[in-house]
Amino acid sequence: MSVALIRPLTVRTIAVSDPDNLLSRLPGAGPYAWVRHGEGLVGWGEAARATVPPGPGRFQWAREWLSSVFDDAWIDDEVGMPGSGPVAFGSFTFDANAEGSTLVVPQVILARSGGRAWLTTVGDAGSDAVAPLVTARGITYGDGSLTAPEWQERVARAVRKIKGGTLDKVVLARDLLATADREIDIRVLLSRLASRYPECYTFSVDGLVGATPELLVRHKGQSIESLVLAGTIARGSGPADDAARGEALLASEKDRYEHVCAVVSVREALAPLCAALDVPDKPELLVLPNVQHLASRVTGRLSDGASVLDVVAAMHPTAAVGGTPTAKALSVIRELEGMDRGRYAGPVGWIDSRGDGEWGIALRCAEVSGDRARLFAGCGIMGGSDPVAELAEAQAKFRAMQYALEG
């Protein structure tokens, strides 16, 4: 565990004119971002940072650390909206026992939501000049932890376990390594992702950057919302092929069952926390530039005023990124996946001093360090899964970050 803090925090939030493009205001290295359809938050600098100790109590530790930071702060907030006042960006490892979970309170936060915009500063934060974007070229790729044939063999082994009755579903991920001709400017990746995938949540926390379609939880007052995605097919070659693929996905017994498993896991996690919960009877299609997903939007009202981190703790890992039943799926992942996921498929997002916030699952993402990036993609493996088709699905999911790197 490590903690750094400018203490106590002196925080001021003021209304500002519309910044139009939040991402274009990021000054340089180490940006923080959570943006969808041009709205959200971006930040830079560090007023406080904590490396969250691994273990089953990590979310409780994170909540207590944030409470100590926010409760001691002097806050002048003339906006009073979710995301105003002090905000912490965070990302957690997929595995509770893995190191690398991080919380950071930026020194400067610029936000835009519901026709309003505001600027939050902590301490004596200056106005950093925006440095020119630097575009990396000559991107080359190499195998990650497993080659494609090796990963397909692991998928086949997982299918045999499922058919043998060991479990219903397991999510197996794979990684891909990318190298550029110079240091990768995360702001370039964010700009490309936000432009191409406006329906997704474009994020950046401590070198983890991506555009996730999956909203784990949005917490505002007592209201919560979660977008469940499970069941995927690549986009078609044209409108007719696209429509046919969407209909095939909706009709797919394998994908519908995979989606049901994910929805049930979310419902079971949220029910104890909620006074009311609305779960759709059937999924809809979420169409993105590279893939189509089965999607269900779950909404509810919390019964006890819990923090968004309490909801995150109850929900992670969902069946959409782990499997069913969860404990057995996690055991199979450790046995077959052959890699450390790090923060891939873990919770990523932000929380303010009121406990409001938005957290997604870190999908369609990469860990960026210098001139290198480690890309991730995962697939839900069922009894009817075909290793060749699952590899094709993983490759389709890699394309989001490959586009971000290559343009």
CATH number at 78 reads: 3.60.120.10
Which pLDDT value is given to residue 127? 61
β partners of residue 43 = 32, 109
Which of the pair, 1 or 164, is modelled with greater confidence? 164
- pLDDT, mean over the chain: 93
Please give the tally of structural domains in the chain: 1
On whether residue 131 sits in a domain, the answer given is no
Hey, what amino acid is at 114?
G
Which pLDDT value is given to residue 86? 97
How far is Cα of residue 382 from the mean position of the Cα atoms in its chain?
23
On whether residue 53 sits in a domain, the answer given is yes
Catalytic residues: 169, 214
2 has pLDDT over 80: no
CA distance from start to end of the chain: 38
Which pLDDT value is given to residue 258? 86
Per residue in 83-130, pLDDT (tens digit) is 999 999 999 999 999 999 999 999 999 999 999 999 999 988 666 777
Of the pLDDT bands very low, low, confident and very high (cuts 50, 70, 90), residue 3 is low
On whether residue 130 sits in a domain, the answer given is no
Average pLDDT over residues 59-87: 95
- Cα separation of 400 and 404, whole Å? 6
Residue-number span of the structural domain to which 220 is assigned:
2-125+137-406
Which pLDDT value is given to residue 130? 73
On whether residue 115 sits in a domain, the answer given is yes
Per residue in 268-311, pLDDT (tens digit) is 989 998 889 999 999 999 998 888 999 999 999 988 767 889 89
Decide: 81 and 116 in contact? Cβ < 8 Å.
yes
What pTM value is reported for the model? 0.92
Which pLDDT value is given to residue 38? 96
On whether residue 389 sits in a domain, the answer given is yes
Per residue in 364-395, pLDDT (tens digit) is 999 999 999 999 999 999 999 999 999 999 99
Which pLDDT value is given to residue 317? 93
On whether residue 132 sits in a domain, the answer given is no
1 has pLDDT over 60: no
For 26, 57, 67, 306, the CA distances from 60, given in Å and listed in that order, are 31, 5, 10, 12
Per residue in 135-171, pLDDT (tens digit) is 988 999 999 999 999 999 999 999 999 999 999 999 9
On whether residue 210 sits in a domain, the answer given is yes
